[in-house]
Amino acid sequence: MLDQEMIRTFLTVAETASFSDAAKRLHKTTATISYRIKLLEENTGAPLFNRTTRSVLLTPAGLHLLERSREWLAWLDAMPGELRQINDGVERQVNIVINNLLYAPHAVAQLMAHLVAQFPLTQFTFSRQIYMGVWDALLHDDFALAIGVSGTETLSDTVEIHTLGEIDWVFVMAANHPLAQETAMLTEVRLRQYPAINIEDSARRITKRVAWRLTGQKEIQVSDLETKLAAHLAGVGIGFLPRSLCQRYLESGDLVARMIPAMRPPSQLSLAWHKEQTGKAALEIVRLFQDNTSTITGFIAPLNSRNKLAE
């Protein structure tokens, strides 16, 4: 009833809204096209077209079949390649989670371009998570690989890691902020008078972490680093920012860096993937990072790499 020839005939009639035009396109007689559609309607038990003297229009049932038919034919067309791909050890889908500290549209696009060229039939999905949310997604959701898990020690015996480098933190405030005018070491009493600007940890099943906030201090939570930077520049609050993100504003004088009693240590970040992961696409990403290729430069740029730290 729903063989490829029958479905392609139905699709052609739906696209041309004409039995005769469909016949010309398929190099068949109009009678053959009309017979196929009649047979399809009899087998499905539903009229698929409203026929007039000038055109044939899809019924609601026909519109539904049109959508399903396109999906079905696309699946059939792709299936031989997908089967060869699976046989060759290439995954049908690879989900990748990225730490918001390393997430940059151009970096994701560059990696995506490389992967799509190498594995055109694989579906790639990218997600951005915050702090322990990266580990959470890797351990509890269907993610094959994580770019930027916190630490250099794995949280599971089933996960391999490769150290990427460190994020340096700077305690900053706007140049016109009241604390920027003080020359003495900032005390917790003074710091507590102003809001801390933070991004909430996205972990759901692992204990969340707070970047920096003193007991009793007001906190303003924002959704991403770009908003956090903008809030600092606007003088809304105080807190830590990655040096790579705020360095040019420190040089321009828009932001001021200060020392506080408890400075935030550098955050070590790593690449992490499941040990049992044998798919070629995921392992290609691992190779790109282990070989420090130009494809992943955008992710590494914010970090003090191990090579830089050794210099």
Taking only the tens place, the pLDDT of each residue in 102-147 is: 999 999 999 999 999 999 889 999 999 999 999 999 999 999 999 9
pLDDT tens digit string along 29-39?
999 999 999 99
Query: Across-strand partners of 256?
Result: 173
Domain 4-87 has CATH 1.10.10.10: yes
More confident position, 82 or 261 = 261
As given in the structure block, the two tokens for residue 288 are 């790109």
Tokens of 112: 């995506």
In the chain, count of helices (H) and strands (E)?
Answer: 12, 13
% of the chain at pLDDT higher than 70: 94
Would you give the DSSP letter of residue 217?
-
Q: Is the pLDDT of residue 274 over 50?
A: yes
DSSP state of 294: G
pLDDT of the residue at 81: 65
Strand runs labelled E in 188-287: 196-199, 219-222, 239-242, 255-257, 267-274
Distances (CA, A) of 255 to 166, 173, 218, 238, 264: 22, 6, 21, 10, 18
Among 71-80, 159-168, 200-209, 231-240, the minimum mean pLDDT is found in 71-80
For the domain 93-163+268-310, what is the CATH superfamily, name and number?
Answer: Periplasmic binding protein-like II (3.40.190.10)
CA atoms of 145 and 138, how far apart (whole Å) = 7
Residue 245 near residue 147, CB atoms below 8 Å: no
Structure tokens at 110: 């560059």
Mean of per-residue pLDDT scores for the chain: 91
Per-residue confidence (pLDDT) for residue 134, from 0 to 100:
98
Q: Would the pLDDT of 311 be above 50? A: no
- Domain ranges in the chain? 4-87, 93-163+268-310, 169-257
**pLDDT reading at 73 higher than 90:** no
Identical fold for domains 4-87 and 93-163+268-310, yes or no, is no
Query: What b-and-e string marks burial along 9-43, b requiring 16 or more CB atoms within 10 Å of the CB?
Result: bbbbbbebebbebbbeebebeeeebbebbeebbee
Q: Which residue, among 242, 246, 243, 232, has the nearest Cα to 196 in the 3D structure?
A: 232
Whether 246 contacts 255, CB under 8 Å: yes
Q: Taking the domain 169-257, which CATH number applies? A: 3.40.190.290
| Whole-structure pTM value | 0.74
- pLDDT of 305 reads 47
Contact 266, 304 (CB under 8 A): yes
Radius of gyration of the chain (CA): 29
Instruction: Specify the range with the lowest mean pLDDT, choosing from 62-66, 80-84, 105-109.
Output: 80-84
Statement: residue 308 has pLDDT above 70: no
2-21 pLDDT per residue, tens: 788 888 999 999 999 999 99
CA distance linking residue 108 with residue 296, whole number of Å:
9
